[in-house]
Amino acid sequence: MSASPAADPARRSRRPSGGAESLLEVAVGEFNTRGYDATSMEDLSRAAGITKSSFYHHFTGKEALLRAALERAVDGLFSALDAPAARTGTPTERLRAIVRAQVAVLTAELPYVTLLLRVRGNTETERWALERRRAFDAEVTALVKAAVDAGEVRAGVDPALAAKLLGGLINSIVEWYRPGRPGTDTLPDDVAAAAFVGIIPAR
């Protein structure tokens, strides 16, 4: 028999020490486990070990929690574009820097990025997050186009497709990455090498 949500040790481990940030961490864990739509404020207060009124002291409701969580993920995503290495150098050098920074953000903010990747546009906040993701993808696409125009990427490559493939490579990490496993420290460089050098040696 499977454990009930209240008895799940993983859920108990998410109980906060107090404060808005720790409550947000609990909420993100519940949203990722149950799904945002299926999670109630009663579920959240139970997981946090506090009353609903105490939860409302920090957040006005589920949508506010979702917004705070997604803003954290989106801010991390755009920080990859703003890193100094992503602003200087050739288009390909900048793309490499962005990929490395994206992977670093994903591993540092894994629950929040996971939640961002699962939104489907069912609420105003989710639609805002999807719009921000599209804006990010547009900047990466433009940079891939610049790399093609500069002769740094094979001629004929569709920039939009290449950007989607890069994004898919990075985003797939949420499905298997676990903190502390061997190779964690070098993962950003390893992913960038796989994306720009390949995994099969040239003959």
Domains of the chain, residue spans: 5-59, 67-196
In tens, the pLDDT along 145-167 reads: 999 999 998 888 999 999 999 99
**What is the structure's pLDDT at 203?**
65
pTM of the model as a whole: 0.86
As a whole number of angstroms, the longest Cα–Cα distance in the chain is 65
- Non-local CB neighbours of 135 within 8 Å, separated by 6+ positions: none
In tens, the pLDDT along 53-80 reads: 988 999 999 999 999 999 999 999 999 9
The CATH homologous superfamily for domain 5-59 is Homeodomain-like (1.10.10.60)
Pick the CATH number of 67-196 from 3.40.50.720, 3.30.70.940, 1.10.3720.10, 1.10.357.10: 1.10.357.10
Q: Which residue has the higher pLDDT, 203 or 161?
A: 161
Q: Which of 2-16, 28-42, 180-194 has the lowest average pLDDT?
A: 2-16
How far apart (Å, rounded) are the C-alpha atoms in residues 98 and 89?
12
